[in-house]
Chains A and B, each alone.
Chain A
Amino acid sequence: MTLIETREISKIYRTGSVELNALMNVSASIEAGEFVAVMGPSGSGKSTFMNILGCLDTPSSGQYFLEGNDVGNFDRDERAQIRNKKIGFVFQGFNLLPRTSALENVELPMLYNGLPSRDRRGRAAEALKNVGLSGREDSHPGQLSGGQQQRVAIARALVNNATIILADEPTGNLDTKTSAEVMELFTRLNTESHITIILVTHEQDIAAYSRRIIRFLDGRIISDEQSGRS
């Protein structure tokens, strides 16, 4: 099943009279259950592409279909709902709420889909267990290591049963050993739970965990190939 399909999407940023073509006529499709790495130098358009896939941004032209819906034309609140229900984000800087327990951080997405408080607790605890953080429910981000924080973020991304994880350099702030642990977690989620994973990385050995690599340069896709373990 085609999960994600972009047709000729472009993104143009205007600052005064200067126009910046961040994306130019990018067409790509990703099937459910794929593990894709998006690579490219800074300014190549890969972040813009990810923001559009994550419904954080809209294309200037072209169409973006998510599960067959033309979400490129959705309004602010409709996109918020898509992000809430279908997409989980994992960021380089973790982006957990400070001074808030791991459990409450994981509960957050459920707060915005109207789940009653009792169900939220149980599901959040289960999601933390799933990423190997049982017993750390009450720890604040400041009391957790980088790898643990990233696993809390992954638990948060999955707690609403998202089918897609969009990870923007998820190992950028982690050491090699922790990076490997996080990547193995992604691999497990991909193979066992069939979660579609799309991650941005600079590093070849992180990209090697994926089965498909899409490379960007100057707002275009320059290569799209199956790779590594497939």
Chain B
Amino acid sequence: MIDIPTTVRISFKALKRNKMRSALTMLGIIIGVGAVIAMIAVGAGAREKIASQISSMGSNLIMVLPGATTAGGVRMGSGTQPTLTLNDAEAIQKECPAVSEVAPILNGVAQVVHGSQNWATGVIGTTPGMLTVREWPLDSGRSFTQQDVRNATKVCLIGKTVVDNLFGDDDPIGKVVRIKKVPFTVIGVLSVKGQSPQGQDQDDAIHVPVTTAQKKLFGTAFPGMVRTIMVKAGSTGDLASAEKQIIELLRQRHHIGQKQENDFTVRNLTQAMQTAEQSANVMGLLLGSIASVSLLVGGIGIMNIMLVSVTERTREIGIRMAIGAKTWDIRLQFIIEAMTLSLIGGIAGIIAGISSSKLISMFAGWTTIVSPFSILLAFGFSGLVGIFFGFYPAYKASLLDPIEALRYE
């Protein structure tokens, strides 16, 4: 069998002889590989962004919202009828086996004052379960307890944005803030969570015991009312059964007859986000496949130029055959030449792909992630393109009749 390093050297020489032609042929592969890498990077970036939003929200999350009111035949949309209570939340916690944690929420906006600083922020009345449901650890201090909820203690956990606006660099633990003029002791600072999927700053909030919010801050239409109940299912597999159990329980608790509609809505947020993730996957796949079409076109360019090259070098092939080149010696020579073209193009394409991903992030502001896998994939694929599209010209060359080839002018 032929000596591969020498053959590679021969192909480099042959390609250098026609610099312009080789460069143009490579350009097809460069664009193809570059496009594949950049498009996969855009797809992976979109996926990553959605995944990070999912995890910032908390995983396996179900929202229970109050139902819609109907006023004179006009239905008002979900949340308009206050039907959920703290007792509902406790019942869900106790009686739905697929549920691992529950956090009722009663929220509003209030002016918060500390010393000479004041700041309008979201005040969220909830239970200690909140931290588990949202997978939201504390940065410092401690959380409030069930005891605090039972006694409607005036303590609060504050987000980073609130800390920055009210305290600057001071340590807020143990300090007193006034929410709607009611003094609350700061007992903990929440870690930074960043933006919600809707783009809200989740760190611009104060968490207080739900009972305190009901009694001291916002008041309620009836005792124990909450605005929403957040539920964390035991696992992703439990989501569907948790949803079913919650619906059954609440229908029973709210005395809803067989034919009546629910006076609440159950929303599976994780599922919604997973759908978004899937559509991001599909988009990534679509972009990737469009890009691979250009790689295919680049491969056809290689095949074209290799066919020209075989014809031009008929006499050389004849000489090589006369002095003892076997069928596969000739084939390998041209396949290696095609692969040299496509692999050099592939390397340049990887550089082009990485830099265009960077440009896309810079100018379009999208997250792009160039994974080593996509680089390996693109490089391997360009090698395959060389073998695949180099094979036919090489095959054709190897079938030449040496006598005819030697006579070729």
For A113, the closest partner residue in chain B by CB is B324
Q: What 1/0 flags go to B301-338 for Cβ under 8 Å of A?
A: 00000000000000110111111111101000000000
For B319, the closest partner residue in chain A by CB is A95
Q: List 14 A-B contacts (CB under 8 A).
A: A51-B403, A56-B402, A80-B321, A81-B324, A91-B406, A95-B406, A99-B17, A108-B319, A109-B323, A111-B3, A112-B2, A112-B320, A112-B325, A117-B6
For B320, the closest partner residue in chain A by CB is A108
CB distance from A209 to the nearest CB of B (A): 24
The residues of A that contact B2 with a CB separation of less than 8 Å are 111-112, 114
The residues of A that contact B324 with a CB separation of less than 8 Å are 80-81, 83-85, 109, 112-113, 160
CB distance from A150 to the nearest CB of B (A): 14
Residue A215, interface by CB 8 Å: no
The residues of B that contact A111 with a CB separation of less than 8 Å are 2-3, 6
A108–B329 Cα gap in the complex (Å)? 12
CB distance from A20 to the nearest CB of B (A): 15
**A77 x B326 contact (CB < 8 A):** yes
Partner of B323, one of A57, A84, A99, A117: A84
Residue B74, interface by CB 8 Å: no
**A80 x B316 contact (CB < 8 A):** no
Size category, A interface: 20 to 34
Residue A76, interface by CB 8 Å: yes
The residues of A that contact B323 with a CB separation of less than 8 Å are 83-84, 89, 108-109, 112, 156
Residue B221, interface by CB 8 Å: no
A144–B315 Cα gap in the complex (Å)? 20
Residue B1, interface by CB 8 Å: yes
**B326 x A95 contact (CB < 8 A):** no
Q: Which of B5, B325, B329 has the largest count of A CB atoms less than 10 A from its CB? A: B325
Residue A97, interface by CB 8 Å: yes
If the complex has contacts A51-B403, A77-B327, are A95 and B315 also in contact, measured as CB distance less than 8 A? yes
Q: A95-B318, A111-B3, A112-B324 are in contact. List 13 more A-B contacts (CB 8 A).
A: A51-B403, A56-B403, A76-B326, A80-B324, A95-B322, A95-B406, A97-B316, A99-B17, A108-B323, A109-B324, A111-B2, A111-B6, A117-B3
**A81 x B326 contact (CB < 8 A):** yes
**A89 x B3 contact (CB < 8 A):** no
The residues of A that contact B17 with a CB separation of less than 8 Å are 99
The residues of B that contact A99 with a CB separation of less than 8 Å are 17
Number of interface residues of B (CB under 8 A): 22
If the complex has contacts A83-B324, A117-B3, are A112 and B329 also in contact, measured as CB distance less than 8 A? yes
A95–B316 Cα gap in the complex (Å)? 8
CB distance from B399 to the nearest CB of A (A): 9
Q: What 1/0 flags go to A41-62 for Cβ under 8 Å of B?
A: 0000000000100101100000
The residues of B that contact A77 with a CB separation of less than 8 Å are 326-327
A114–B323 Cα gap in the complex (Å)? 13
**A112 x B326 contact (CB < 8 A):** yes
Q: What 1/0 flags go to B1-43 for Cβ under 8 Å of A?
A: 1110110000000000100000000000000000000000000
**B residues 255-313 with Cβ under 8 Å of A?**
none
Partner of A114, one of B1, B321, B322, B403: B1
A81–B328 Cα gap in the complex (Å)? 12
CB distance from A1 to the nearest CB of B (A): 23
CB distance from A44 to the nearest CB of B (A): 17
**A76 x B325 contact (CB < 8 A):** no
A57–B406 Cα gap in the complex (Å)? 13
The residues of A that contact B318 with a CB separation of less than 8 Å are 95
A54–B324 Cα gap in the complex (Å)? 11
For A105, the closest partner residue in chain B by CB is B319
CB distance from A145 to the nearest CB of B (A): 20
Q: Which of B1, B17, B322, B329 has the largest count of A CB atoms less than 10 A from its CB? A: B322
A51–B402 Cα gap in the complex (Å)? 10
**B322 x A56 contact (CB < 8 A):** yes
Q: Which of A97, A99, A109, A112 has the largest count of B CB atoms less than 10 A from its CB? A: A112
CB distance from A55 to the nearest CB of B (A): 10
For B324, the closest partner residue in chain A by CB is A84
The 4 closest A-B pairs by CB, nearest first: A84-B324, A112-B324, A77-B326, A109-B323
**A76 x B322 contact (CB < 8 A):** no
For B398, the closest partner residue in chain A by CB is A76
**A residues 182-200 with Cβ under 8 Å of B?**
none
CB distance from A181 to the nearest CB of B (A): 23
A89–B323 Cα gap in the complex (Å)? 7
Q: Which of A51, A56, A57, A96 has the largest count of B CB atoms less than 10 A from its CB? A: A56
**B403 x A57 contact (CB < 8 A):** yes
The residues of B that contact A108 with a CB separation of less than 8 Å are 319-320, 323
For B316, the closest partner residue in chain A by CB is A97
A201–B325 Cα gap in the complex (Å)? 27
The residues of A that contact B402 with a CB separation of less than 8 Å are 56
**B3 x A114 contact (CB < 8 A):** yes
**B319 x A97 contact (CB < 8 A):** yes
For A109, the closest partner residue in chain B by CB is B323
The residues of B that contact A83 with a CB separation of less than 8 Å are 322-324
